[in-house]
A and B are shown apart, each in its own frame.
Chain A
Amino acid sequence: MKFAGLLMILTSCTVLGLAAGESLSLRYKSMKQVSEMLQLLQGEIRCSYSTFSRAFLGIAARMPEPWPLFLETMAEKLDSLSGGCFREIWEEAVSGLPESCGLTTEDRRSLRELGSGLGYLDAQMQMQTLSLFLEHWKLQMEELRQEMQQKQRVYRCLGVSGGLALMLVLL
């Protein structure tokens, strides 16, 4: 019985380590999706001069979950003309992203700040705002990619060794 309990502790700690590593992969995947989404938005603005709501609806069909809901909510709120500026609507939509999307608090803050630069002046201004954001965003992605393998290994080791240490203490 005792042995079974110890085995369960070891398994749990290992899974925790794996999960911590996996959350990094999920964050990277989400950041990549945001980057793709904004590149599509740039395309919509550059090629067809679509309004934000039209562009968001067009992009929604091409994005995996949870982004279609985010984009459709944005389009709906913009079209409803119910008040508030673009920044407020954008910030509200970013805050409504589910926890499971993998973005950290810092990522969400960056994404929220993007809203204050959009909807202002001409198409060139929108393109520059998006390009600047994407440049910064991709740097963060690159940093994460470089750290990811190393950190995942550390998390796995910490999980297993933490479990073993606990086992030894409890023996």
Chain B
Amino acid sequence: MRKEELIRIFSRKIRGILERTSADFLHVEEIRLRAGKPLTLCLNGGEEYLDEQGRLVPDWQQAYQVLPEDLAETLEYVSHYSLYAFEEELRQGFITIPGGHRVGLAGKAVVSQGEIRSLKYISFINVRMAHQVIGCAGPILPYLWKHDRIKHTLIISPPRLGKTTLLRDMIRQISNGDRLHRHQTVGVVDERSELGACSYGVPQNDLGLHTDVLDSCPKASGIRMLLRTMSPHVIAIDEVGTNEDLDALAYSMRCGCSILATVHGSSLQDIAGKPVLSRLVHEQLFDLYVVLRNDSRRGIIWQVLDAAGNQKGEGIR
């Protein structure tokens, strides 16, 4: 999405500031709006403030202070004047906009019977720019193929090391196929809209030519629905966590469908020690594990392990 298109979702006042700024939007990671607080850009791992003229200023007191009206107006634009159409997204705390960017929202939660019903007094908006890393799964992918099928593969990674980005690129490449392998039909159950970043049902991220996406759908019921309706060769889901998810995964494996999934964790042993997820390891549901870890000197390391935990390969992302 071009800068002009992205900044349309902001209030007219902030839009003007962003239009004037010289900050390179290619490197902007987040734009943060907090009521009564400075307009903030997160770029290159740090935070900078914008003043009324669009200049990057180090002192927050010189920055433009976001008004509650800015937040209300921005929310109107993000929801296309139809906040009611995003009730489910509000419950989850974010709205995905065209381009795959994620607008995170926070304020006062409206809770009913212990469940979040909605958000009100929205006073914090965080626009996270979508970034795809096309080709990042390339070195790992050869380990996943077994003839013309994909092995059941689980990506294990701590937060913020790029497991979703890796899974997204795996989906794309498997769905497109390559010189050696025929393309596979991939079904994606995208409960949090992180893989496809669908806007009005259309994936904003490239998930390949033969991918069907079930957006904002609970994983367990989504897997069963995809199996019944789209006959996928591969099913991909992000962040497995509950027993229902595992049951649905096991069911789809019995149906002859390959599984690509991710899970939060630091190692195979870590997963084996967790109450629900240990089942994944003990029942040897997966043929392959891809473990991501951060090495302060070398960067992000990937490691491929077989079902028994033997290392099959290693590399740096």
Chain A residues at the B interface, C-beta cutoff of 8 Å:
45, 49-54, 78-79, 81, 83, 85-86, 89, 119, 121-123, 125-126
Contact = CB atoms under 8 A, between A and B. Distances in A.
B76, B79, B80, B82, most chain A CB atoms within 10 A: B82
Interface stretch (B83-91, B140-148, B157-165, B170-178): B83-91
A78 B118 CA distance: 24
A167 B12 CA distance: 65
Contact of A78 (B8, B9, B80, B83): B80
Interface residues of B, number: 15
18 contacts: A45-B84, A45-B85, A49-B84, A50-B82, A51-B81, A51-B82, A52-B80, A52-B81, A81-B77, A81-B80, A85-B81, A86-B81, A119-B81, A122-B84, A122-B87, A122-B118, A123-B84, A125-B84
A86 B76 contact: yes
A52 B79 CA distance: 10
Contacts of A52: 80-82
A85 B74 CA distance: 11
Interface of B: 8-9, 12, 76-77, 79-85, 87, 118, 200
A78 B81 contact: yes
Nearest to B72: A85
Task: Identify whether the interface residues of A are mostly helix, strand, loop, or mixed.
Answer: helix
Contacts of A125: 84
Given A49-B85, A51-B85, A122-B118, A79 B80 contact: yes
A50 B85 contact: yes
A121 B80 CA distance: 13
Contacts of B85: 45, 49-51, 123
Given A51-B85, A122-B118, A85 B79 contact: no
Contacts of A119: 76, 81-83
Contact of B84 (A53, A85, A126): A126
Contacts of A89: 81
A78 to B, nearest CB: 5
Contacts of A79: 80
A123 B85 CA distance: 7
Contacts of B87: 49, 122-123
Contacts of B80: 51-53, 78-79, 81
Nearest to B88: A49
A27 to B, nearest CB: 30
